[in-house]
Amino acid sequence: MYFNMEEVRDVLLKDQLTDEDVAESTDYVNGLAARLGVAPDHIRTPVAYPIRQLALFYALMVCARNQSAMTDGRNLQAGDDAYERKRAIYEKEYMRWEARISAETFTGDSGKDIGENFPLTAKVGRG
């Protein structure tokens, strides 16, 4: 488990987050580490903040997906289901954090991550 349950502040999902959701999140983060070439015994403890956030948002996304009426075959619009809206939000969040994580985030002393990509801006004016 890469995050503490005390970090879960989502009122709708907090009491519905299961051990299976957390296990799926842990498996996902372990898989990401493996894809980046990091062996499980090389993951530093405590894990860096970006990894905790990734694991938390992934677990919340899985929980929301499992609670969503969209997954039980009912023909609802995505906007009609609070769980589906939460799932979409948490999916974007975990993907944002995943994009910032490098092998060094798992192993480095400083917990370095790739960081946000900001567009290059230049001052334009008449001269």
Report CA 125 to chain centroid distance, whole Å: 41
Could you read off the pLDDT tens digit of each residue along the chain, which spans 127 residues? 999 999 999 999 999 999 999 999 999 999 999 999 999 899 999 999 999 999 999 999 999 999 987 655 555 555 578 998 999 999 999 999 999 999 999 998 554 556 544 444 555 666 5
At residue 104, the 3 state secondary structure works out as helix
pTM score over 0.75: yes
Rounded distance, CA 101 to CA 98, Å?
5
Residue at token pair 């990509």: 117
